[in-house]
Structures are given as structure tokens and as C-alpha cells.
Amino acid sequence: MNDIYCRRVAIVGRVCVLLAFFAYGEAIAYDRVTGRSFASRSVVMASNGMAATSQPLATQVALQILREGGSAVDAAIAANAALGLMEPTGCGIGGDLFAIVWDAKSQKLHGLNASGRSPKSLSLQWFVDNGYTSIPPRGPLPVSVPGTVDGWFELHGRFGKLPMSDVLAPAIAYAEQGFPVTEVIAYYWARNARVLAPYPGFKETFMPGGRAPGAGEVFRNPRLAQTYRILASEGRDAFYKGEIARKISNYMADNGGFLRYEDLAAHESEWVDPIGADYRGYTLWELPPNGQGIAALQILNILEGYDIAGMGFGSARYLHAFVEAKKLAFEDRARFYADMDFADVPVRRLVSKEYAKQRRALIDPERAAKSYPAGDEKLGEGDTIYLTVADAAGNMVSLIQSNYRGMGSGMTPADLGFILQDRGELFSLDPRHANAFAPGKRPFHTIIPAFVTRGGKPWLSFGVMGGGMQPQAHAQVLINIVDFGMNLQEAGDAPRVRHDGSSEPTGEQMRDGGTVIVEHGFSADTLRALGNMGHEIQLSDGGFGGYQAIARDAGTGIYRGASESRKDGHAAGY
């Protein structure tokens, strides 16, 4: 085989025929220690603190706050505020937030669901009466209450040390003075701008000079600087009950939206207990629905019944088992995951080992399934940023935040400097569905932070941004470490697989078994074998998420950090 990376694959009778596949891994340098061809860099190590984000300047902002005496939560909020400015393609205060915090003092995990609810003046019947079969992806209709700011202040009130004015100061300075846009962010900014330019207010804030800023160009957002300054001085009520809330409400009313001041004023986040499941001595913790985190637990529970290590990384047997486990978990995700204030979601049953055993029995080890049923007992595309921070006291934060669909709905209110999210697109308009639209309801959410403990002690704070890829990647990362012996960086650098086409919480059904999307780095023999099993294979070099991680050595207290090689960011410590 020539060292050629071929992006074109012919699918004939669902057998993958490689026209000119590649030994791409052979063409790049092997890791000098482990010998793995896909390792991009060494693991970062430090004693006093660590931050990993998808933008280098945001990582430095987090470290600055740690050096000034801030807690891990202070640093995480500061980094998130910086990313709202520097990476608006994935996040911003017009979106929602979820976090898992390890508190060193209490030796406990705390979960925060800071997702917003649908407008109370909008009903499912309105969509029916106006001929909608699904909620549109952009514009005023998918906008739900932004939960991020309340999430910041909830986290800060419980775990913060510095005043919020200090925490937001670095982001305010960058917003006023400007920063150079990095490569990956510039690419997605331009893609979003082509679609969102027609929406009121977008161009004025995000297209200076009539276009999206290119890589290396300096971008300023004085509107966002002023909004952050108001939050720093007046607190969260300025956003939900004050000047900012009224501007959002008036903007939405003027542009055909339903979100109102009353929706913002009524908003509050919810502290929740993370849900854990053991995987070969490691406990993975996720947040309960309305998010999709427990899908990762379901996947791992099913796969625990296989000798994954014996199958080998990149083998057809492993990838087949993984894809089938994902299909099973996502059928449950489509049927049951929803706002638990509106639906009786059988979380404990779904993540139990007994249930996983029943579901595992449905897998044919030699053949891909075209469909699976959801559990029949009486149980009842998106861009994001993920960051993690740890401090000298042993506190660790796993935080994820998003506008959904890249920059969100396109709705850019008044002179506030941010875009409102379009998370409401993920409601179903089927009144019988657990995730059916209802006033004041939280939509199904894709963004999920993760945390792993060993023996009740903190071990790993990590996440992988990227829509429906997230639970699939959570499982793959942990399998890479536990079963395949990879280090923290390699676990994220390793080529990934993504299955698309499962049934969705919006009501779509699995499409003839779906498609297995594979990243470069898997062998031709593996892909051919998967095709012979009945999997439809598609090669891609994008859509596999963005990983950040911090691990803690329980004996020495040393932190290890890793960052996604597919994004612009990095991990750094001090």
C-alpha cells in the first residue's frame, strides 16, 4: 500500500472497497516513548494546577486566575467567559452549561444542570397550527432561555474564591483590546457567517468589515465587554431581571420570537446528583437527563461483557461491538431521555448491569443490525466547548457549554455582543414523545461533562464536545485508557469512530442501520471486515469531537493534562 490518504470510499453491497487507502499512520512520527503512531504530543504535567481548553489564550486565562489565588471554579468561569469571546463558534452566554465539580473539602462530586427552558407563551399546538413538522434550526423559534450566566453564578456562589469582577476581568480586557483568531475557529466562523448573516444583529457584532475574521486577524467585541462588565458589577440578576433581560425580551418580540422577560426572570439552575457506573474498576460519572450523558454509561455497561482488550484497538470485532452497543443505547436515548420534570425517566434501570446484560444479548457478533428496539419494559449537530480545570487544593471542574449548531440561532440581541442558542430545535413535535415540546420545559441536551473516580477518589475530569458524538467519544476515551493502555493524550489522539443514523429524540427513526463514520488511521482490512458484516462505512476527517482532560495521581497529587489535537487549544499547568 502506498502512503496515501484517500478520502473517497466506494460502498458496494455494504462492503467497503478502498480505491486507494492509506497507511497514513506510517507517514507520521511514532511517539518516542510508547511507539503509537497517532500520538500528537506528550502529556502535560504540573503540581499546582492545570487547565485544558480549546483555545490557548483561554487556557492561559484559567492559569492566570489560579495564580491569583482563584479556585478551579473561578478559573473555569474565567476560561468560559474568554471562550465566549474567542470561540463564539461553539459557546457563549446565550447558551447553556453543565458541570461536574469535585470538591476536595467534602470529597464529593456535585452536578449542575444550567440549561434553560422553552418560552411559556409558545405551545406545541402553535407549531401544529402553523404547519410545522419539526422546529427549525435557526431564527427565533428554537430559542430557549440561556442558562450559562446563572450557571456561572451558581458555581461561583458555592465554590468561588475571587470576586466575579476579578474572574471576568481577563475576558473583558481581551474583548476590548482584541485577540488574534485561531485557525480552526476562523474556519468555523466563516462557515457559520455564511448561514447566519441575514439574522438581525449578527453582522454588526460578528462580521466586522462585512465578513468573518480570518486566521490571525484581530477581533474585538466591545459589546460583549460591556455585557461582561455589567455582570461583574451587578451580578446574575442583571441578566435575568435587569437591563440585559429587557433588551433580550424586546429584541425577540421585535423579531417574531416568543422568549420574554418573564421567562428569563423565572429561570434557575438545578443542582443534581451525578449518575455513576463502574467499568472494570473505574467509575464514570455523568449527569442525568435532560442530557445524554447516561448513554455513555449504557454503552460501557454493554461492552463490559466483552474481552475488549483481547480484541485489540482498531480491530473489526471491537468496532463492531462498539457500534452495536451504541445503537442499543441510542434507541433508549431517543425514547426515554427528556426533562425529568416532565417525564418519568427510568435512569437507574437504564444504567443497571442487569439491563445491560439483556440488551447485550441482542447483538449478533457477526452481523450489523439494521434496527433495534428501545427497551420495552415500562420504563417510560452541534458545536460546543469543553474545558477542565484543577487547582492546588485538589478541586477539579468538568465544564461544558454550548449555543448548539455552532454559533446558535443567529439571533443577536441589541448591543449585547452574543448570540442566543437554538437548543429548542431538539424538542419533538410528537405529543406522545417524552421529549415533546411544552411551555417551560428543558429540551433534550447533547452537551455532557464527564468525571471518573477510582476507589472513591478523583482520577479523571474529561469531556469530548461534538453533538451526538459525545457519549460515543466518552466511552472510546475510557476504553482507550482502561482496555488498551493508552496514556491521557493518546486516548484523545487515537482515531475515532462515530455511528450516525440512530433514532433521535426529535422523533426520527434509525435509517437502515445507519452509517459508521471512521477517521483516518484504521486499517483497510478492518474497514473491509466491517463492510462484510453489513456496516455501511464512510471515511471522514471531521466530526469526531474535541477532547480535553486532566487526571490526578492520588499518591503524588501530580496533575496530567491532555488536549484535543483536532482543535486549537492546549493543556498547561504551573
pLDDT digits (tens, 9 = 90+) for 405-445: 889 999 999 899 999 999 999 999 999 999 999 999 999 99
pLDDT at 31 (0 to 100): 56
- Average pLDDT, integer, range 180-187: 96
Q: Is residue 191 part of a domain?
A: yes
pLDDT at 3 (0 to 100): 30
pLDDT greater than 50 at residue 54: yes
- What is the extent of the structural domain holding 231? 56-97+114-270+406-426
Q: Is residue 132 part of a domain?
A: yes
Q: How far apart are CA 380 and CA 365, in angstroms?
A: 29
Task: For residue 379, name the pLDDT band (cuts at 50, 70, 90).
Answer: very low
Q: How far apart are CA 87 and CA 226, in angstroms?
A: 18
The answer to whether the Cα torsion of 198, 200, 202, 205 is positive or negative is positive
Q: Please give the backbone phi and psi of residue 402, each rounded to the nearest 5 degrees, phi first.
A: -160, 155
DSSP state at residue 509: P
Pairing of strands 218-219, 179-180: antiparallel
Q: How far apart are CA 306 and CA 356, in angstroms?
A: 12
Selected residue with higher pLDDT from 1 and 96: 96
Report percent pLDDT > 70 for the chain. Answer: 93
pLDDT at 33 (0 to 100): 65
Nearest one of 412, 447, 307, 415 to 365, comparing CA atoms: 307
Q: Is residue 134 part of a domain?
A: yes
Q: Is residue 32 part of a domain?
A: no
Task: For residue 466, name the pLDDT band (cuts at 50, 70, 90).
Answer: confident
How deeply is 129 buried, as exposed, middle or buried, from its count of CB atoms within 10 A (0-12, 13-18, 19+)? exposed
pLDDT greater than 70 at residue 6: no
| Residue carrying the nine cell digits 468589515 | 209
Quote the pTM value.
Answer: 0.92
Query: Is residue 51 within 8 Å of residue 388, measured between CB atoms?
Result: yes
pLDDT greater than 80 at residue 269: yes
pLDDT at 548 (0 to 100): 96
What is the average pLDDT score of the chain? 91
pLDDT digits (tens, 9 = 90+) for 127-167: 999 999 999 999 999 999 999 999 999 999 999 999 999 99
Q: Is residue 513 part of a domain?
A: no
pLDDT at 30 (0 to 100): 53
Q: Is residue 70 part of a domain?
A: yes
pLDDT at 354 (0 to 100): 96
Task: For residue 376, name the pLDDT band (cuts at 50, 70, 90).
Answer: very low
515: annotated active-site residue: no
Our count of domains for the chain comes to: 1
Q: How far apart are CA 458 and CA 102, in angstroms?
A: 7
- Average pLDDT, integer, range 48-75: 97
Phi-psi region of 34 (alpha: psi -120 to 50; beta: other; left: phi over 0): alpha
Q: Is residue 564 part of a domain?
A: no
Which of 318-322, 400-404, 497-501 has the highest mean predicted lDDT (pLDDT)? 318-322
pLDDT greater than 70 at residue 375: no
Q: Is residue 472 part of a domain?
A: no
User: Which segment of 86-90, 401-405, 430-434, 509-513 scores lowest on mean pLDDT?
Assistant: 509-513
Candidate list 148, 283, 384, 388, residue with the active-site label: 384
Q: Which three cell numbers stand for residue 512?
A: 437502515
- Provide the CB-side half-sphere exposure for 348 (13 A, CA): 1
As a whole number of angstroms, the longest Cα–Cα distance in the chain is 65
- Average pLDDT, integer, range 462-476: 93
pLDDT at 164 (0 to 100): 98
User: Which segment of 5-9, 38-42, 73-77, 485-489 scores lowest on mean pLDDT?
Assistant: 5-9
Task: For residue 534, name the pLDDT band (cuts at 50, 70, 90).
Answer: very high
- Average pLDDT, integer, range 519-544: 93
Selected residue with higher pLDDT from 164 and 506: 164
pLDDT digits (tens, 9 = 90+) for 221-239: 999 999 999 999 999 999 9
